[in-house]
A = this chain, B = another copy of it.
Amino acid sequence: MSAVDRSDGGTVQVRSRDGSYDVIVEAGVLAELPQLITDRVTAQRFAVISDDNVAPIHGRLIMEAGLDAGLDMALFTFPPGEASKTRKSWSILTDEMLDACFGRDSCVIAVGGGVTTDLAGFVAATFLRGVPVVQVPTSYLAMIDASVGGKTGVDVHAGKNLVGAFHPPRLVVADPEVLTTLPVPEREQGLVEAFKHGAILDGAYFASLEDNVEDLRAAEPGVAGPAVARSVELKAGVVSEDEFEGGYRQILNFGHTLGHALEAASEYTLGHGSAVALGMLMETRLGERLGVTEAGTFGRLRKVLEVLLGPLAWSATDPESAVSYLRADKKVRGGRPRVVLLRRLGEVDPGQGWSHEVPWETLAEELATGLGVA
């Protein structure tokens, strides 16, 4: 029954343009971080980047262990939250590293959630035209999603993640034990991506997640570790196939075309997980309506997502503003919108190049319909 039955996580190898890198998922592995870094990165100095919430917990422990092991390490912090994922924070962190005389023989160690892995990754991507980054994700979302695939970047006024770079990490170290320090709502939001991986790629994994919602929410290491490892394995398989989102990688956008529009329409009061959950539901309802998705998929998906997140509803948006939110998405900017549709839970419909071109009006209608309370 797939990864949830494994007890020890594991190591997943991801292929990338610059070679390949390991994602190590293992309870307690953070204690071995200095050794892992020494073995795999040829750098003389290490810049640990973390937000002000994570720095006093995991950032400090990593610093202490690194300094004890004789590594030349310094800690750089920034205020927590999506509001920090900006060109300004990126500039400040870069300048602080420059002022501290970090050079080409540096390595960035990103310790935190998705904001940190994206922001610190972009600092590394552009520091002296690129230095290595080691990702140490501390949230479900970062472990499952943000730290694998090499996407880095920041938000700008025109939208989220519109400025950035592909910069594959040298190593990803995910310790499921740290998930217990994560607030429960953040665990719930992050787990949505695990359900997405199951929905698009592995029906058995989806079923096992359905059976273990409570333990996943509690971040029980014996359940959380294998789930993270399986999600990483599934995502790694996709990005190894298509690093730059030319074709197959699109399937990871399931729920995101409408999800991003909902997130923008809510002025980001909706959590990313909730927005993607609503997006997956609306895209599945659309798929059923178009005869692409097996009937009943929407109902089953809604049921488990509501066990995870509580009632999911979205009140109607006027179609015109719905279109404007859709157009803001970088995946559809300047082009025609494409949506990933399921064939059934565990399988994406191949469509035309792994997605379906859907008229603006149809998508806007979907958003404008909203989602009533079940």
Contact = CB atoms under 8 A, between A and B. Distances in A.
Interface string A106-125: 10000000000000000001
A95 interface: yes
A157 B128 CA distance: 13
A327 interface: yes
A307 interface: no
A326 to B, nearest CB: 12
A161 B126 CA distance: 10
Contacts of A98: 156-159, 162
A327 B103 CA distance: 10
Interface of A: 17-18, 44-45, 87, 91, 94-95, 98-99, 101-106, 125-130, 151-153, 156-159, 161-166, 244, 327, 330-335
Contact of A157 (B95, B151, B158): B95
A102 B333 contact: yes
A158 B99 CA distance: 7
Contacts of A103: 330, 332-335
Contacts of A331: 104
Nearest to A72: B334
A105 B285 CA distance: 29
B335 A129 contact: no
B129 A334 contact: no
A164 B95 contact: no
